[in-house]
Amino acid sequence: MSKPVILLLGKIHPRVVERLQDGFHLLRTPPGQPVVLSEDEASSVRGIAVAGVVPGALIDSLPNLEIIANFGVGYDGVDVAAASRRNVIVTNTPDVLDDEVADTTIALLLNTLRRFHSAETYLREGRWEKEGPFALSPLSLRGRHVGLYGLGRIGGEIASRLRPFKVKIGYHTRSQKSGVDYDYYPTLEALAEAVDTLICIVPKTAETHKAINADILKRLGPEGVLINVGRGWSVDEDDLMAALKAGTIAAAGLDVFYEEPKVPAGFFDLPNVSLLPHVASASVVTRNAMADLVVDNLIGWFESGTVKTPVPETPVAKK
């Protein structure tokens, strides 16, 4: 029997290729360029492995497509509505990255408050010996009230890690979560009003677009700190930059940006931001686990008609 054809899109993790190459026929397209397939190629494709974008037009141009396996828990790059219309399964990589992303969030929070990045640069530049101790950090985690915008798989892990830091914890989600004793706020406005530290870990959806804007930042207040590890989409970057410059809030730590990999140059000049190039899950061990889940979903589908981690919107039909 001929091997199922999988189209690899974007800069796909090498382990995905390694594990798929024996059992599947792999079609690769040059990264960063439009996907151009012959008619025969298009009709041969039964699966897609992707780290990035799958537009509806591409889905519609592949008549025999059965499954899209997304590398990443956030699957906002995939046109899920178009996939569902065509009865195409979409899978993502939840759970296996929760701990890594939560660890990174705590590191980014501490780095933003205590400016360890600047302190290390100071040491490396030989300034400690010449000029004496590094300046005291104006901000600290001591006594903070932290609000989570999102308390799902990753938000829950962030909250658990915050507990031993002895900070007060609250959250806003659309539905109140059972089994947690953090204070619930029914609106983002109410959460921002109550806390001084806001951690954004919601998905990219129409509802979360630029939800963190000038009004929310003003509510956080002059001691306020924003940490974004969700999607850049959820923050109005112009409003954030203005708030950081004017002292409307005190500092921000960002792992994600509106138009990655472009980072607004204005952030580089601000001493009160800590910037990371979307690395929250980027360790070898965690990215390998994500790659394995991409492959397990594809193998499961083509061997037994089952997938481990379908996204909620997907039609989970048996072959």
* CB distance 40 to 61 below 8 Å: no
- Site mask for ligand 8YV (CB under 6 A), range 69-98, x = bound: --xxxx----------------------x-
Q: DSSP 3-state assignment of 123?
A: helix
Between the alpha carbon of residue 3 and those of residues 23, 25, 47, 63, 193, the distances in Å are: 6, 6, 11, 17, 57
Q: Which of 25, 114, 117, 278 is catalytic?
A: 278
6, with CB counted inside 10 A (0-12, 13-18, 19+), is buried
Residues in contact with ligand NAP, total (CB under 6 A)?
A: 30
Question: Distance between CA atoms of 183 and 84, rounded to whole angstroms?
Answer: 36
Q: Smallest distance from the beta carbon of 201 to ligand NAP, in angstroms?
A: 5
Binding-site member from 7, 51, 202, 226 for ligand 8YV (CB under 6 A): 51
Active-site residue, 193 included: no
Between the alpha carbon of residue 287 and those of residues 95, 202, 262, 277, the distances in Å are: 12, 20, 22, 15
Residue nearer to ligand 8YV on the CB measure, 44 or 93: 93
Q: Is the dihedral of CA 256, 257, 261, 262 positive or negative?
A: negative
Active-site residue, 278 included: yes
- Give the one entry of ligand NAP, ligand 8YV, none that residue 71 binds, where binding means its C-beta sits below a cut-off of 5 to 8 angstroms depending on kind: ligand 8YV
Under rule CB under 6 A, which residues in 129-158 are in contact with ligand NAP? 150-155
Interaction of residue 250 with ligand 8YV, rule CB under 6 A:
no
Under rule CB under 6 A, which residues in 115-174 are in contact with ligand 8YV? none
- Site mask for ligand NAP (CB under 6 A), range 40-69, x = bound: ------------------------------
Q: Which stretch binds ligand 8YV (CB under 6 A): 66-74, 128-136, 166-174, 304-312?
A: 66-74
Interaction of residue 102 with ligand 8YV, rule CB under 6 A:
no
- CA neighbours closer than 13 Å in the CB half-sphere of residue 217: 26
* CB distance 145 to 196 below 8 Å: yes
* CB distance 163 to 180 below 8 Å: no
Active-site residue, 260 included: yes
The CA-based angle 116-117-119, given to 5 degrees, is 60
* Residue numbers at the binding site for ligand 8YV (CB under 6 A): 51, 71-74, 97, 278, 281
* Residue numbers at the binding site for ligand NAP (CB under 6 A): 73-74, 94, 97, 101, 150-155, 172-175, 201-205, 207-208, 229-231, 255-256, 278, 280-281
